[in-house]
Structure 1
Amino acid sequence: MTDQVIDVTDLRRTYAGGFEAVRGISFTVPRGELFALLGTNGAGKTSTVELLEGLAAPAGGRVRVLGHDPYTERTTVRPRIGVMLQEGGFPSELTVSETVRMWAGCTSGARPVGEALDAVGLGKRGGVRVKQLSGGEKRRLDLAMALIGDPEVLFLDEPTTGLDAEGRRETWDLVRTLREQGTTVLLTTHYLEEAEQLADRLAILHEGRIATTGRVADVVATQPSHISFELPDGYHVGDLPPLPELGVTGHELRGRTLRLRTGELQRAATALLVWAERSRVELRGLDVRAASLEEAFLRIAREANGADGTDGADGADMTYEAGVSAEEAQETAA
């Protein structure tokens, strides 16, 4: 039994025509950890996860899951992992219970059908045909299939796509419970808040390489917090207390709106509010915002776009949220 449940070293994947989707990445995931793979446009995360699941052989490097090669030792690895794909593709005419029962028949040590459905909130939908389920309910069914064998390692590919806010939170609670029980989870998601809420560590990929990796708090800490407000009438930036003394590392003025960057949010916000109170002025539109994973991701996207000669983190963000990448287009062509 190794503490490193997933061990990836210099992993590479190449498609027909020589397109290299994964370009020598390395990371480990210890037992009981939730590790998130995020990706900018053409990142390579889908290609990476498929190698971890044993769906294809790497072009180079080494991957081990539970101490085994997931491709050449698939019969050993497969019974011990659960996989939730972006879309399950189950027969539409079967009922929910029939679908789970069919899947359980192909799974070693499958849990009872009712237990699997209750775990994902479908306990009362067992008699409904798959084609009659909502998009969110189909995602719940996909998750039930991934959990049917009580896996040691769980691969979740966009687990909450199509779920409403309540369903997403319930799924998060379930994933947290699984992690607390010792299940190792590898997550891919387009919801940055989801990764920030669930992950112990993460890696952000760009063009087949890892752009940054580490604990979520450490990745977020690389970004500044922000304070923005409208300058009071008759006041200028120079009328404020000296910004360096507030812990402010930079500022931007657009019209009358001032935006401050700081690595010491509490100190800066407190000093600013004390100044406003003593000066008897109102800071209209005051917005105090801590650093976030979204900002870290957008910085990487912005830097990547700048390197490519394009402009705008917003465009990169829209591509990411849409879930359409050069990587996926290449895989479709292949």
Structure 2
Amino acid sequence: MSTPAVTTPPAPPFDAELGAALELISATMPSSITPEMIPAMRETPLDLGLDEQMGAIGAVREDRTIPGYDGAEILISIFRHPDNTGVGPGIYHTHGGGMIVGDQLAGVGMFLPYLVSHGAVIVSVDYRLAPEFPDPVPVEDCYAGLVWTAENAAELGIDPERMIIAGGSAGGGLAAGTTLLARDRQGPKLHAAALICPMIDDRNDSISARQIDGCGVWDRTANETGWTALLGDRRGTEHVSIYAAPARAEDLSGLPPLFIDVGSAEVFRDEDVAFASRVWAAGGTAELHVWAGGFHGFDIMAPHARVSQVANDVRNRWLARMLDA
């Protein structure tokens, strides 16, 4: 007796404004990313407009080399406003890029306004990338940077009781993994964690992963490329750490308040919704938003769309609440 074929329902429709934007984006950014495309992707900067954003608010940046995982050196960038001479909240940033591209400057721009509004200090870590540096290097580099930030909080002007970790996509997954490491190692205390469309499940077998295949931004093939670069032959097996793929964690208790947002039309939808549900089941606090019609990274790639404006406003209000607390 043959096994019935598994059918995947069609993907949810893209928001009308986002769909129009996606047609333009798709001309230069393919949905499906394969391993041989990684070198060329690394030549494209992901921090477009950062210098202008910094100049507009008068922010300054300092780069330092600090100890990373296993005795290696890694780079961090510290962002401050020169008028802030006291102690303020800290934002520890882990950048996105599918575990395979990007650096510490990518994505940090969304947090720059808090230098002015809350006297915050941002520390962004340039963790080493896969496949040259597979798991556990990326998440351990991120944890090493968090420990360094906490140990140097006084010199940085950071209140150690108000330190938030934040990241998007792969950076969201690394933020989640770093948060779990901090919990399990009794490491630095985190006040909150912002997980923006986080990449947290290497198994790549959810309904949303099967739906977003050959369409949108960062589809199922791209997801397989990123996870395989990080984990190699371990991807999808039982030999994957919860710190590399936080969706595998059975115990989600003892975490700081989380913010999780994701689009309805992206690979990470189902794993992110499930993660939030399991945090609640463990008695934790998580604020979850699923934006109808959103593709991966829609809020950054199409910021003028109405759903992007609402999504960014909601996230910013949550961050302001956490930084005020």
Assess same fold via TM > 0.5.
Answer: no
Structure 1 length-normalised TM? 0.27
The higher radius of gyration belongs to 1
Structure 2 length-normalised TM? 0.27
Instruction: Judging by fraction of residues, say which structure has more strand.
Output: 1
